[in-house]
C-alpha cells in the first residue's frame, strides 16, 4: 500500500500531527525516528539538516585567501550534511527512498525558512544539485500550511494541501536568500581579509548582510558618543507649602518651542523647556522666587494602560537582558530548554506576538492548569490571578491577542499544559516572565488619574512657572498580576491636595548644575530593538515597507549575530554595555573608503526583502535576482582589488605618547602608527608629512590594536600577554609584545616576545635579580617567592647556579592569559577564579575551567565546574573526552587528561 511521508520541522510538531491524524487514520506505531499508520509515515527534521556550499573546486582554505581566487561565484551549490544532525538526516533519506512512500508532504514551518529546510533535504536525498522538486525520486510533493497547531486546524490543513507548483515561488525565494547570503558573506569576507592581509599575516575580516549593518549601528552610536560636546546647564526646583502639605515642582519656560530640523548633538537639539544655560540666570530665578507666594492651576484626567502583548523571542530577550542581565544567547538557550527539555513553553524562535484565532479553548485549558493552587514552584503565587481570569470571564476572543493576520511561521510564546518541575533558578525566572505576561494580557487595563499642576510665582514683574506631575493608580487591572513591580511602575507621585484658589508659599529653591549626556551605549536589549526596527532607518518607503516585519536577522538568528560579533572581537561586553573595538572601526573605515558602504546599511536587507517578496508573488525570476547578486559580489571584490592608494581616508587618532625614537608626534593612518616629527602636520588622509622614520603596524598578526594598548606599548616598551593573534595559516595564538632597538635601521621596532631572552637567562645558570619585582606569593612546592619571568611565572629557587625547585607555570595556557592577580589567587587559595578563555588544541573550542594546584601530582591542573549527574557511561565518556581534548599541550591539561583516562579505564574494568 502506498503511503505519504510527512516531514515536520521539529519532533514536537510531528507528535502534534500524529495526535491529530490518529482519530481519522487509526493508531500510529512508534519507531525510533518516525511514526507509521496505514496511510502515513510521520517524521521530522531538527531545524536545518544540510547547508549549502560551493563545489570543492571553488573552496579555498582560509590561509590561502587572496584576490587571485576571487570572486567565488559557483554555477551551482552542493549540499553538506550538518555534522550534529547526520543521524536524523540519514533516517529521513531512508524514509524518503522507501518504495512504499509514493508522496512527500512538507509539514515544516509555514514560511520561507521552513520551505528551504524541506527542499534541501529532498534535494540531498535525490542526489541532485539543481532540482527544486523531487523529480529524481519520482514522488509527488505537496505542502501542509499550518498557522495553528490545534488538532482541528491540523486536520483542516490536510484537507487543503497546497500543490508543489503553488509553492515553487516561495521555494525560489528561500533558495535565493540562502545563496545570496553565502555569496556576499564569503566573497565580502575573503576580499576584506585579502585587502587587510596585503602586508603579510592573516587578518580575518568577516562581513555579512546582517552582521555588518548590525555592527555599523553600534559603531555609529560610539562615534556620536566620542564626538559629543559636553555642555553645562542648570535646573531649578522649588518646594511649595499648601494647607495639606508640601510638594515639589521644576521650573520651566512655557514659551519654549523645540527647534525643528536641529542637527543631533547640536545646542539647538539639546534645548529643553526646563534647562537654563547660564549659572547667573538660574541663580537669579532662584533668588527671585525664594520665599514668594504663588497660585496653582491643575488639570486631572483619567488614563488607561493595557498590558503589553505576548512575548515573541526578541521581546523576551530584550526584557530578560534589562531585568536580569541575561545575554540574548542565554535567554534563547533557557527558552529552548523550557521548550525542549521541560516542555513547559511553546516554540520560542518566533517573531509573532499573537495567537491563532482558534486557540481560545487551548488558552482556557492552560489558564486552568496555572490556576491549580496545588502546583509547586513558579506557578504557586500566580494561581489566584489565573483563577480570577477564569471566574471573571476575562479570556475572550479579543483581536489584540487572537489574530491570524499577525501569526507568521509561529505564534507567540506562551506556557503549555505541562506544569513545570525541577527548573533551575534562571529557567524559573524566564518561565515566570512568560506566565505573568500570559495571564496579564487578558486582564483589564490599569486605570490611573494623571495630574499636571502648574505653580505660578510672580516676582519683579516676571511670572515663573513650576510644573509638578502626579500619576495615581486607581484600578490595578493587569498590574495586579505583577504585584510590587507594577505598583512601583505606576505610582509616580502622590500629590497633596490643593484647594481652588489656594495660595502656596515657596519654602525652598535649589539650583542644580548638570551636563548634557551623550547617547547611551547599546546593551543587548537596546541592540535587539535596533535590529528589529532597522527598517525605520531606511528613507526609501518601498524598502522600509519590505523590512517592516523583518528587521535585521530573525528572532532565531539575532542572538547568534551578536555572539558572532563578540567572538570575532568586533565588540566587547563591559557590564551590560556593548563597545565596538578598534577592529570594528577599522572595518567601517575600510568599507566607507572602498565605496562599498551599502554593506553597512540595512537598505541592503530592505532591497533583498522587497525583491524576494516580489519573487514569492511570481513577479521576479530567480535568475534575475541571482544575476544582480553576482554583479554586486563582483563589484565588492573589484573595489577592494583595484584600490590603489596607500591608505584609506578616515577619522584617525593622534597618540598622547611620543615617538620612542625622537619624541615626536605619532599619528594613526589606516594601516600604521607613524612618527610625523615634532609639531608636524598630516594631510586629510592621515599620511605623514615628515618624521624620523619610526612606524609600526596597527594589526600585528591579524589583531587590531586598541589605542590604550599602543599607548602602553610605546610608553613601557612591553605589552601583554594578549589574545586574538592569528598565524599565517589562520590559527589563533596568544603572545606578548615588546619594543626593541633595531641597530640596522637605527630605530625602534615591535616584536613578539616568546620569552627567548628569559629562557637563555634561565639556562645560563647565573643568578637572576628579582629585587625590582614584588612577589606574587609563596611557591606551593618550597614556600619561596614566585615572580614573573619572561613568559612564565617561576619560583626564585628554580633558576640560578644551584636550582632546588622546579615550579613553573605559563602566563598563557591554551590561549588563556593568566594574569598576575589570578596567579596570586592560585598561590594563596589553591585555585584561580573560573576562567573562560581556554581553547582546546584538539577541537579548537573554548571552555571554562579553574586552574588549581594539584599537590599530589606537584603540578598546576584544570578543575571543572561541577555538572548535573548523568548516566554513568555517558558521564565517563564525556569527562574523558573533555579533559583529553581541552587539556592537550599543557602541563595542566596533561594532568587532567591522565586523571580522566584513569577514571574511564577503571569504570570499564569494573563493568
Active-site annotation, residues:
347
Q: Which of helix, strand or coil describes residue 861?
A: strand
β-strands 78-81, 50-53: how paired?
antiparallel
Question: Do residues 347 and 339 make contact, with C-beta atoms less than 8 angstroms apart?
Answer: yes
95-131 b/e with 16+ CB inside 10 Å = b? bbeeeebeebbbbbbbbbbbbbbbbbbbbbbbebeee
Residue in this structure with the C-alpha cell 519656560, named with its chain if needed: 253
The DSSP symbol for 254 reads T
Q: Where are the beta strands (DSSP E) in 815-882?
A: 816-817, 835-839, 846-854, 859-863
Asked if residue 819 has a cis previous peptide bond (ω within 30° of 0), the answer is no
Cell numbers for 593: 573608503
Q: Match 558618543 to its residue by C-alpha cell.
A: 225
**Cβ pair 393, 404 in contact under 8 A:** no
Instruction: Report the alpha-carbon distance of residue 238 to residue 252 in Å, rounded.
Output: 11
Rounded to whole angstroms, the Cα distance separating 31 from 905 reads 34
Rounded alpha-carbon distances, angstroms, from residue 478 to 309, 443, 446, 473: 12, 5, 6, 12
The residue among 108, 158, 150, 114 whose CA lies nearest residue 357 is 150
Size (the chain), residues: 911
Q: What is the CA radius of gyration of the chain?
A: 33
For residue 241, which phi and psi values (nearest 5 degrees)?
A: -105, 120
C-alpha cell, 207: 562581513
Q: What residues form DSSP beta bridges with 296?
A: 455
Do residues 695 and 675 make contact, with C-beta atoms less than 8 angstroms apart?
A: yes
Distance, in Å, from the CA atom of 159 to the CA atom of 153, rounded to the nearest integer, reads: 10
Backbone CA torsion sign across 218, 224, 226, 228: negative
Cell numbers linked to 359: 486557540
Q: Is the distance from CB of 262 to CB of 272 less than 8 angstroms? A: no
CA distance 866 to 165: 54
> Would you say 777 and 828 are in contact if contact means Cβ atoms under 8 Å apart?
yes
Amino acid at each position: 500500500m502506498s503511503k505519504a511521508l510527512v516531514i515536520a520541522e521539529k519532533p514536537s510538531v510531528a507528535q502534534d500531527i500524529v495526535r491529530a491524524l490518529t482519530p481519522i487514520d487509526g493508531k500510529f506505531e512508534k519507531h525510533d525516528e518516525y511514526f507509521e499508520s496505514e496511510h502515513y509515515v510521520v517524521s521530522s527534521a531538527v531545524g536545518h539538516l544540510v547547508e549549502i556550499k560551493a563545489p570543492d573546486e571553488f573552496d579555498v582554505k582560509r590561509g590561502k585567501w587572496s584576490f587571485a581566487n576571487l570572486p567565488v561565484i559557483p554555477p551551482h551549490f552542493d549540499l553538506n550534511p550538518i555534522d550534529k544532525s547526520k543521524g536524523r538526516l540519514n533516517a529521513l533519506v531512508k524514509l524518503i527512498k522507501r518504495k512504499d512512500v509514493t508522496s512527500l508532504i512538507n509539514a515544516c514551518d509555514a514560511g520561507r525558512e521552513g520551505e528551504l529546510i524541506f527542499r534541501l533535504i529532498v534535494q540531498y536525498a535525490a542526489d541532485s544539485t539543481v532540482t527544486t522538486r523531487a523529480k529524481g525520486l519520482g514522488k509527488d510533493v505537496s505542502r501542509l500550511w499550518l498557522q495553528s497547531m490545534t488538532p482541528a486546524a491540523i486536520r483542516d490543513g490536510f484537507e487543503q494541501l497546497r500543490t508543489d507548483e503553488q509553492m515553487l515561488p516561495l521555494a525560489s525565494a528561500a533558495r535565493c536568500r540562502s545563496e545570496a547570503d553565502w555569496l556576499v558573506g564569503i566573497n565580502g569576507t575573503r576580499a576584506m581579509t585579502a585587502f587587510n592581509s596585503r602586508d603579510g599575516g592573516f587578518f580575518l575580516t568577516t562581513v555579512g548582510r546582517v552582521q555588518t549593518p548590525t555592527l555599523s549601528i553600534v559603531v555609529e552610536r560610539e562615534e556620536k558618543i566620542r564626538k559629543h560636546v559636553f555642555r553645562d546647564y542648570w535646573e531649578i526646583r522649588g518646594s511649595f507649602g499648601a494647607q495639606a502639605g508640601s510638594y515639589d515642582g521644576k521650573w520651566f519656560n512655557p514659551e519654549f518651542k523645540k527647534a525643528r530640523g536641529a542637527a543631533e548633538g547640536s545646542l539647538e537639539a539639546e534645548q529643553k523647556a526646563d534647562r537654563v544655560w547660564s549659572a547667573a540666570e538660574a541663580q537669579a530665578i532662584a533668588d527671585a522666587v525664594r520665599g514668594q507666594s504663588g497660585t496653582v492651576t491643575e488639570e486631572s484626567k483619567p488614563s488607561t494602560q493595557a498590558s503589553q502583548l505576548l512575548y515573541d523571542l526578541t521581546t523576551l530577550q530584550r526584557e530578560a537582558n534589562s531585568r536580569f542581565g541575561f545575554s540574548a544567547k542565554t535567554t534563547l538557550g533557557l527558552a529552548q530548554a523550557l521548550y525542549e527539555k521541560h516542555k513547559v513553553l511553546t516554540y520560542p524562535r518566533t517573531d509573532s506576538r499573537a495567537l491563532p484565532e482558534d486557540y481560545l479553548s487551548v488558552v482556557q485549558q492552560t489558564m486552568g492548569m496555572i490556576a491549580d493552587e496545588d502546583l509547586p514552584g513558579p506557578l504557586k503565587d500566580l494561581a489566584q490571578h489565573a483563577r480570577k481570569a477564569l471566574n471573571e470571564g476575562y479570556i475572550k476572543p479579543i483581536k489584540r491577542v487572537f489574530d491570524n493576520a499577525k501569526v507568521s511561521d509561529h505564534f507567540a510564546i506562551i506556557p503549555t499544559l505541562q506544569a513545570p518541575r525541577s527548573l533551575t533558578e534562571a529557567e524559573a525566572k524566564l518561565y515566570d516572565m512568560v506566565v505573568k505576561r500570559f495571564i496579564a494580557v487578558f486582564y483589564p487595563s490599569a486605570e490611573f488619574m494623571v495630574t499636571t499642576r502648574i505653580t505660578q510665582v510672580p516676582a519683579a514683574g516676571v511670572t515663573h512657572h513650576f510644573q509638578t506631575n502626579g500619576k495615581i493608580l486607581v484600578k490595578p487591572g493587569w498590574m495586579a498580576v505583577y504585584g510590587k513591580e507594577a505598583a512601583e511602575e505606576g505610582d509616580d507621585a502622590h500629590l497633596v491636595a490643593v484647594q481652588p484658589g489656594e495660595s502656596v508659599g515657596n519654602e525652598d529653591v535649589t539650583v542644580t548644575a548638570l551636563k548634557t549626556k551623550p547617547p547611551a551605549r547599546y546593551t543587548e536589549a537596546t541592540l535587539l530593538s535596533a535590529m528589529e526596527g532597522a527598517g525605520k532607518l531606511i528613507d526609501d518607503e518601498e524598502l522600509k515597507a519590505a523590512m517592516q516585519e523583518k528587521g535585521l536577522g530573525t528572532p532565531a538568528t539575532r542572538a547568534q549575530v551578536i555572539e558572532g560579533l563578540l567572538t570575532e572581537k568586533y565588540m566587547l561586553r563591559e557590564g551590560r554595555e556593548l563597545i565596538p573595538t578598534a577592529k570594528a572601526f577599522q572595518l567601517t573605515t575600510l568599507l566607507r573608503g572602498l565605496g562599498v558602504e551599502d554593506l553597512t546599511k540595512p537598505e541592503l536587507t530592505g532591497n533583498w526583502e522587497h525583491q524576494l517578496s516580489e519573487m514569492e508573488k511570481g513577479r521576479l525570476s530567480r535568475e534575475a535576482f541571482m544575476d544582480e547578486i553576482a554583479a554586486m559580489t563582483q563589484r565588492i571584490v573589484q573595489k577592494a582589488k583595484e584600490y590603489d592608494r596607500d591608505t584609506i581616508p578616515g577619522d584617525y587618532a593622534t597618540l598622547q605618547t611620543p615617538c620612542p625614537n625622537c619624541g615626536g608626534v605619532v599619528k594613526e593612518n589606516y594601516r600604521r602608527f607613524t612618527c610625523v616629527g615634532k609639531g608636524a602636520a598630516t594631510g586629510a588622509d592621515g599620511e605623514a608629512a615628515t618624521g624620523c622614520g619610526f612606524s609600526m603596524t596597527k594589526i600585528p598578526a591579524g589583531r587590531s590594536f586598541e589605542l590604550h594598548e599602543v599607548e602602553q606599548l610605546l610608553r613601557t616598551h612591553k605589552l601583554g600577554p594578549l589574545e586574538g593573534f592569528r598565524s599565517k595559516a589562520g590559527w589563533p595564538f596568544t603572545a606578548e609584545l615588546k619594543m626593541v632597538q633595531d641597530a640596522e635601521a637605527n630605530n625602534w621596532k615591535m616584536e613578539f616576545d616568546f620569552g627567548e631572552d628569559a629562557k637563555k637567562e634561565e639556562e645560563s645558570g647565573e643568578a637572576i635579580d628579582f629585587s625590582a619585582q614584588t612577589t606574587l606569593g609563596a611557591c606551593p612546592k618550597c614556600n619561596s617567592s614566585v615572580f614573573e619571568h619572561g613568559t612564565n611565572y617561576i619560583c626564585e629557587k628554580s633558576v640560578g647556579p644551584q636550582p632546588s625547585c622546579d615550579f613553573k607555570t605559563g602566563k598563557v595556557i591554551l590561549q588563556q592569559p593568566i594574569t598576575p592577580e589570578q596567579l596570586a589567587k592560585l598561590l594563596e587559595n589553591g585555585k584561580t577564579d573560573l576562567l573562560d578563555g581556554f581553547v582546546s588544541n584538539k577541537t579548537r573550542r573554548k571552555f571554562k575551567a579553574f586552574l588549581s594546584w594539584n599537590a599530589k601530582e606537584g603540578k598546576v591542573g584544570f578543575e571543572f565546574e561541577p555538572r548535573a549527574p548523568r548516566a554513568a557511561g555517558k558521564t565517563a565518556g564525556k569527562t574523558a573526552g573533555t579533559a583529553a581534548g581541552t587539556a592537550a599541550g599543557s602541563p595542566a591539561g596533561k594532568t587532567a587528561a591522565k586523571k580522566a583516562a584513569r577514571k574511564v579505564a577503571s569504570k570499564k574494568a569494573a563493568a
